[in-house]
Structure formats: C-alpha cells, structure tokens
C-alpha cells in the first residue's frame, strides 16, 4: 500500500512516516521545508533503515502534485501540510487561508484527476471553540473558532465533507488532535520550533536547557484544579499510530468519519511543569503571568469513538511525554 504524506518532514508527519514504514507501508513525502528541515529525512532513515521517496515542493502547486501522482501509484493520502501558529494567523490571516485552504483544494483536485479518493486529514480540537461541555465529543456542535488558523481547520473539514457528499467514492477521515507533545524514543525527531515557542511543551524544554530563563504561566485563576489551564496532552507516537488505524479503516468509511485523538485526561500547566522537573531531574523556573487571550480554561477529549471504531487508544503517559521531550531537546543542543 502506497501512502502519500504531505508535510511528512514536520513534527507529526515525521513520526507518522516512521510508523508507516515500520508497518510495511510505502511512503511518498511532499514538503517545502517551510517549517521543517531536510535532516529529518536522514533521521527517518536512521530510525527505520528506509529512505522514503521525497519531493521538495509546495502542496498548493498542482504541477508537482500531478508529477507525484503520475510517478507513484498512490492508494491513500495523509494531509499534514499547513501552517499552524495560532498567534501568527491573527497577524497574517491571508497567509494562513492561502496555504491551508489552497493546498487542500489543489490536493483534492489532483486526487480527483487520478481517481485517488482516500484521505486522512489533520484537524484539531480547536474547531470545538470554547467548550460548553467536557469531555468533547465528535458529534457536538462546533463552536466559534477564535483565530484564522482554527477557522482554516473548520473550513477544510467542511470542504472535505461537501466533497464526499458530492461524490460517494470519496472516503474521508478527519482526525481532531488534542495537544501533541513528546518525541520519538530515539531522540532523533521531535518538535523544535524556530524562535520563541508558543506552545507549552517546547517552551518548557527551552527553559529546562537554559535557553530561556523562565516559563510564563498564562493565568492561575481559571476554574480548574490548581487555577492553571488544563489540556489533553497526547504523545506524538500515539498520535502517529492513530493515523495507521485510520488508514486501515478508510476502506470501510462511507463519506466522512471524524475521530478525536486525545487521551481523555486533562493535565494542568503546573502538573506539566512539576512532572517535567521530577521525571527529568531538572529545574523549570516559572512566573505567573496574565491569561493569554483566546485561551480556554479546560479542553479534553472523549476518544471512545476512536477506540470503538478504530481500535485505537493512547498508551503512553505523561512520564513518557516529558522524558522523550527532554531527551530530544538535549540531543538538539549538542
Ligand atoms: P509542522 O509545521 O511541524 O508540520 C507541517 C509540515 O508541512 C512542515 O514540515 C512544513 O514544512 C510543511 N508545509 C507547510 N505548508 C506546506 C505546503 N504548502 N507545501 C508543502 N509542505 C508544507 O506541524 P505539525 O505539528 O506536524 O502539524 C501537522 C498538521 O497537524 C498541521 O496541519 C497542523 O495544523 C495539524 N495540527 C497540529 C497540532 C499541533 O499542536 N502540533 C494540533 C492540531 C492539528
Ligand atoms: N501555556 C502557558 N505558557 C506558555 C505556553 C502555554 O502557560 O508559554 C499554557 C496555555 O495557557 C494553555 C496550555 O499551556 O493553558 C497549553 O497551551 P499550548 O499553547 O501548548 O496549546 P493550546 O491548547 O493553546 O493549543 C494547541 C495548539 C493548537 C491546537 C490546540 C488543540 O497550539 O494549534 O492545541 O487543542 F488547535
């Protein structure tokens, strides 16, 4: 089975490529390195012993997409390529709408041309907006998105749903990720954003290695167990395995299926900091700062549908999330 992975050298994409190769899939990657580095391909080879076929280019460009489909008999597509920085999307919304929407539309048009109509898409818990009820379930009405990035995810969900409604041959799985963290056990691939990180775990990692002086905890007056924000952190390797389960079940899908990929357990920011310190025996200094605009108090998944229908469940706990993150960032420092 040949799988085309857009954005396959990125954080979640690279972990998924490793799982795919280790499970006997043939992988073809397209990435333009707008948020990843070519070295990731060497690391994938080091981990798996296989060099996946790679194309450097833009997923908005239908010519390169056609070339890929011509040169490879693709069975299914996993579409990771897109921009994901929430704050930046507020500053430069058109950049986000163009890249995330145009890449998806171009991809689907070319898939249609080549009669490949199986797609797994990276959506996000962000489409639920401010949760009215927890845990979040797939059939809940979607909330108002709070930033252009989130809106692109909601639009793409809609585009893919309309497409599958118009043509029953399309089989679509939308995976709504919660908060992916952690790294591969090899320590070779993980998340190391350029510049100052926006997300909690990469920030903690940089504080732990002394690259940043302290963590700002955005608010300690939420209605949560200790006043700090609660999220459903999921190990990226578990998340990657969720994509394999989705691929296995894609053939049975009629139209669109949506699955939450989370653990169902919410941890607070303080719990994350304390666990990181204890497990890795390192200090993570922090200060309490004002709330960050757009943040919700708590967000966690009901992932029972993925268990029931895909046979998928997250297995790795918080200890593995924080230890693999630390191992990865120490390796990056060398
Ligand atoms: P990432 O930035 O590490 O990976 C995305 C990859 O896509 C990068 O390698 C980038 O270079 C590439 N890319 C971007 N635009 C492209 C284009 N037009 N053509 C070709 N390549 C392009 O991000 P990630 O964390 O691995 O996220 C993967 C997907 O999952 C994204 O769609 C993201 O929105 C979604 N998602 C991520 C999170 C998260 O917290 N990490 C949460 C929910 C959903
Ligand atoms: N936080 C801090 N300090 C920081 C960074 C984050 O206290 O420096 C807190 C936040 O206030 C929040 C928690 O840590 O309570 C998690 O924040 P992240 O920025 O790591 O993650 P978010 O839940 O805000 O959003 C992430 C992705 C989105 C995605 C969403 C899905 O950034 O793209 O998860 O749930 F949509």
Percent of the chain with pLDDT over 90: 94
Return the pLDDT at 195.
Answer: 83
Helices 103-113 & 62-71 angle (0-180, nearest 10): 40
Protein residue closest via CA to atom 34 of ligand 2: 179
CB 208, CB 329: distance < 8 Å: yes
Any idea which ligand is nearest the CA of 267? 2
Protein residue closest via CA to atom 20 of ligand 2: 199
Ligand 2 centroid from CA 38, angstroms: 27
CB 178, CB 231: distance < 8 Å: yes
Rounded average pLDDT over 58-64: 98
Rounded average pLDDT over 167-173: 98
Return the pLDDT at 294.
Answer: 84
Residue to probe by mutation, ligand 2, list 136, 200, 285, most atoms within 8 Å of CB: 200
Residue with tokens 């709330």: 291
Any idea which ligand is nearest the CA of 98? 1
CB 311, CB 247: distance < 8 Å: no
Residue 175's pLDDT band (cuts 50, 70, 90): very high
For the question of residue 149 being annotated catalytic, the response is yes
Ligand 2 centroid from CA 164, angstroms: 32
Ligand 1 centroid from CA 46, angstroms: 22
Please write down the HEC assignment for all residues of the chain: CEEEEECCCCHHHHHHHHHHHHCCCEEEEEECCCCCCCHHHHHHHHHHCCCCEEEECCCCCHHHHHHHHHHCCCCEEEECCCCCCHHHHHHCHHHHHHHHHHHHHHHHHHHHHCCCCEEEEEEEHHHHCCCCCCCECCCCCCCCCCCHHHHHHHHHHHHHHHHHHHCCCCEEEEEEECEEECCCCCCCCCCCCCCCCCCHHHHHHHHHCCCCCCEEEECCCCCCCCCCCEECEEEHHHHHHHHHHHHHHHCCCCEEEEEEECCCCCEEHHHHHHHHHHHHCCCCCEEEECCCCCCCCEECECCHHHHHHHCCCCCCCHHHHHHHHHHHHHHHHC
Q: What is the CA radius of gyration of the chain?
A: 19
Protein residue closest via CA to atom 22 of ligand 1: 81
The token pair that represents 236 in the structure block: 């990226």
Single pTM value for the model: 0.98
Protein residue closest via CA to atom 44 of ligand 1: 124
Q: Is the CB of 180 under 6 A from ligand 1?
A: yes
Return the pLDDT at 143.
Answer: 81
Ligand 2 centroid from CA 317, angstroms: 18
Q: Is the CB of 13 under 6 A from ligand 1?
A: yes
Per residue in 35-45, is it b (16+ CB within 10 Å) or e — as a string? bbeeebbebbe
pLDDT, one tens digit per residue, over 239-293 is 999 999 999 999 999 999 999 999 999 999 999 999 999 999 999 999 999 999 8
């Amino acid at each position: 089975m040949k799988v085309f992975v857009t954005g396959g050298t990125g954080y979640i994409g690279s972990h998924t490529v490793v799982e795919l190769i280790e499970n006997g899939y043939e992988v073809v990657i397209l990435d333009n390195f707008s948020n990843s580095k070519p070295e990731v391909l060497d690391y994938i080879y080091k981990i798996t012993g296989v060099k996946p076929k790679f194309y450097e280019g833009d997923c908005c460009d239908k010519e390169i997409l056609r070339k890929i489909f011509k040169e490879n008999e693709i069975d299914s597509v996993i579409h990771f390529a897109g921009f994901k920085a929430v704050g930046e999307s507020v500053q430069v919304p058109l950049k986000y709408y163009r890249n995330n929407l145009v890449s998806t539309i171009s991809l689907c048009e070319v898939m249609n041309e080549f009669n490949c109509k199986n797609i797994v898409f990276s959506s996000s818990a962000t489409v639920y907006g401010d949760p009215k009820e927890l845990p979040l379930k797939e059939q809940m009405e979607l909330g108002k998105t709070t930033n252009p990035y989130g809106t692109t995810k909601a639009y793409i969900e809609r585009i893919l749903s309309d497409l599958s409604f118009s043509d029953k041959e399309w089989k679509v799985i939308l995976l709504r990720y919660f908060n992916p963290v952690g790294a591969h056990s090899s320590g070779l691939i993980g998340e190391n954003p350029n510049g100052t990180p926006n997300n909690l775990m990469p920030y903690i990692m940089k504080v732990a290695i002394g690259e940043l002086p302290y963590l700002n905890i955005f608010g300690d007056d939420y209605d949560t167990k200790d006043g700090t924000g609660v999220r459903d952190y999921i190990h990226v390797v578990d998340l990657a395995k969720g994509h394999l389960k989705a691929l296995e079940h894609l053939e049975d899908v009629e139209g669109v299926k949506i699955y939450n990929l989370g653990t169902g357990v919410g941890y607070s920011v303080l719990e994350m900091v304390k666990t990181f310190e204890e497990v890795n025996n390192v200090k993570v200094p922090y200060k309490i700062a004002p709330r960050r605009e757009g943040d919700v108090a708590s967000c966690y998944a009901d992932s029972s549908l993925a268990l029931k229908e895909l046979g998928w469940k997250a297995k790795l706990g918080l200890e593995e999330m924080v230890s693999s993150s630390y191992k990865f960032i120490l390796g990056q420092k060398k």
